[in-house]
Structure 1
Amino acid sequence: MTEILLWLMLAGAVVVLAGVAWRRRAQMRHRARARAEAALMAAETARAQARQRAEEQAKAQASLAAEEAARAQAQRQAEAEAAALRQREADEAARVQALRAAEEAARAQARRDAEQAAQEQAQRIAAEQAEREAARAEAERLANEQAQRAAQAARLEAQRAAEEAERRATAEAARQAFERAAAREAARREAERAAAEAEARLQAERAAEAQAAREAAARAEAARIEAARLAAERARQQAEREAAQVMAAAARKPREQTLVMVADDSKIVRVKTGRLLTQHQYQVCFAEDGLDAARQIAERQPDVLITDVEMPGMDGFQLTEHVRQNPRTANIPVIMITAADERHRDDAARAGVSVLLGKPYPEDELIARIEASLRAGDAATRPMELA
């Protein structure tokens, strides 16, 4: 009888434990459903708020961040509650196991059955918890995706609105600028037309006076030009006479009084030619290039000019033309020394070179050409000699 009573008590305890476990599972499922519904409602509220925040642009991002923080806090709280519930269930299972361990060996089978039932219950609870966690994660993922899509759509819409507003503002500014430019152009044309009419009237009034003045000025200018021409002709004739006298005097000069200018950009050539001329008792001056020679000729006129062809600034042809263009120096004999006498023949003749001497040349020939040029007289009108 006692054994039956014990078995009945054990069965009652098992039934009580099963009832307690079932109520706890029901409470957990109820709380899980409530949290899921709250999460769905929060997600729906977040989507509505996200749409509203997207329309408000900058303010939307701050609000979205705050809501994300709130959802994260809610998730952490839910996870803490689940962990606490699992801890309480583990504690309860431990107490049940301690109670079963205190029972006598006769109730070992009942304890094993209860333990097996508790293990199955724990497995079911774990499976249900895993399902709830997966459902919660999926709901959160869907809510986040929907919120991101809504925010992206709102940003795109705001960007398109801003671009459209900018295009409209640009078009309006361009239209206003065109209208202002057209108004300024019309005013300018009207002012130009009025100015042209006034100028035409003024020109018409001045035309008669200007015609008489131009006729008088033309007569005076013709008289001035004729007087200037006569004066220039007399000056040219005087310069030619003076040049002829200089050349004649140069032809009669002894070598010690004859000045020969050597124009060459090579110092070696200048020194070598100057030494040769000095040996034959000629006075020698040197020019480093054509510009230096022209400057020295204006200050002191030489009796003979010996020049190279290629020089910086002013070459030998330009220097010869410069000498020939001045009536005071036009009769100076110009001896040009070149290594390509055939190629430079025509240019030298056009420039007015007196003697074209090819390199290398005998020293005696250069001295002979100098003396012949001095005896020949008018160098500007003589044909060029080739050596």
Structure 2
Amino acid sequence: MHKSDSDSDLAYNAAEFCSTKDAARLLGVSHRTVQLWVENGALQAWKTAGGHRRITVASVHKLVNERRGISAGAAAAPAAPAVKKLLLVDDDHTLLRLYELEIAGWNLPVTVVKAQDGFEALIRIGEQRPDILVSDLSMPGMDGFRMIRTLRADASSVNMAVIVVSGLDRTTIDSIGLPDDIPVFPKPVPFNQLRAAVEQALSGPADTI
């Protein structure tokens, strides 16, 4: 049973109901969208004797608030940065542990993988494909120079970010040779500078296969 047109006008004037046009304006959607929401029950409405829809203002306000909540929630929850892998290579067990503890306090989106020489590092790289390599140079077995040359000769790891931390003097390092783009830090480790280099590597392009 429909209410009369006079009842409709009285209800509308009392701000309890609104037209589909007003509902569309309040919700920021098309007239057809409002009609669909009425049909699926998202908005509560009734028809006047003349066939005009009258929508309850309360249901419009409820839907407005729900839509605002979804938008606010999306804005308040930005996507978390992708976690990247950082491989530490050094034959000094104590220094590896110090690296691990220091990096844990940086609050960076990285997980740490460790290796004790160049050969083990190449195995870890094949298994886990780290994004950043922080390595010593002077190590038993395969040293850092040979490991880095091997990496740079491999197309799958040529773009991996490499950072060197070494106790060797600069003259020795230059005489053996490293690629010009690799930053080199002395020991004892200058952790503030190392962190800056890691952050720069994180913001750079990822390694490509």
Separation in 1, partners of 2:83, 2:125: 17
Structure 1 residues 359 and 376: CA distance shift in structure 2, 3 A: same
Paired residues, what number? Answer: 127
Q: Does residue 260 of the first structure (1) align with residue 86 of the second (2)?
A: yes
**Contact between 1:336 and 1:355, CA under 8 Å: does it hold in 2?**
yes
Larger gyration radius, structure 1 or structure 2: 1
Separation in 1, partners of 2:160, 2:136: 16
The structure with the greater share of residues assigned to strand is: 2
- Tell me what 1:317 maps to: 145
Please list every run of 5 or more consecutive structure 2 residues that lacks an aligned counterpart in the other structure. 1-78
Separation in 2, partners of 1:312, 1:253: 39
Separation in 2, partners of 1:309, 1:258: 23
In the TM superposition, residue 353 of structure 1 has moved relative to its aligned partner by 5.9
Structure 1 residues 300 and 289: CA distance shift in structure 2, 3 A: same
Match of 1:340 among 168, 171, 189: 168
- Tell me what 2:46 maps to: none
Residues 273-299 of structure 1, C-alpha deviation per residue, up to 9 Å, x if partnerless? 011111223310100111100011011
Residues 338-376 of structure 1, C-alpha deviation per residue, up to 9 Å, x if partnerless? 123412442575456611111224322111011112334
The structure with the greater share of residues assigned to helix is: 1
Query: What percent identity do the matched residue pairs reach?
Result: 27
Residues 31-71 of structure 1, C-alpha deviation per residue, up to 9 Å, x if partnerless? xxxxxxxxxxxxxxxxxxxxxxxxxxxxxxxxxxxxxxxxx
Match of 1:359 among 187, 193, 196: 187
Structure 1 residues 375 and 345: CA distance shift in structure 2, 3 A: farther
Correspondence list, 1:257-336, <5 A: 257-281=83-107, 282-336=110-164
Letter in 2 for 1:289: D
Structure 1 residues 360 and 253: CA distance shift in structure 2, 3 A: farther
Residues 200-259 of structure 1, C-alpha deviation per residue, up to 9 Å, x if partnerless? xxxxxxxxxxxxxxxxxxxxxxxxxxxxxxxxxxxxxxxxxxxxxxxxxxxx983x7121
Residues 77-109 of structure 1, C-alpha deviation per residue, up to 9 Å, x if partnerless? xxxxxxxxxxxxxxxxxxxxxxxxxxxxxxxxx
Separation in 1, partners of 2:174, 2:195: 24
Structure 1 residues 371 and 264: CA distance shift in structure 2, 3 A: same
Please list every run of 5 or more consecutive structure 1 residues that lacks an aligned counterpart in the other structure. 1-251, 380-387
Separation in 1, partners of 2:168, 2:148: 17
**Contact between 2:131 and 2:206, CA under 8 Å: does it hold in 1?**
no
Structure 1 residues 262 and 295: CA distance shift in structure 2, 3 A: same
Structure 1 residues 365 and 313: CA distance shift in structure 2, 3 A: same
- Tell me what 2:68 maps to: none
Correspondence list, 1:19-58, <5 A: none
**Contact between 1:259 and 1:304, CA under 8 Å: does it hold in 2?**
yes
Separation in 2, partners of 1:331, 1:292: 20
Structure 1 residues 335 and 297: CA distance shift in structure 2, 3 A: same
Using CA pairs below 8 Å that are at least 6 residues apart, which structure has the higher relative contact order?
A: 2
Correspondence list, 1:170-185, <5 A: none
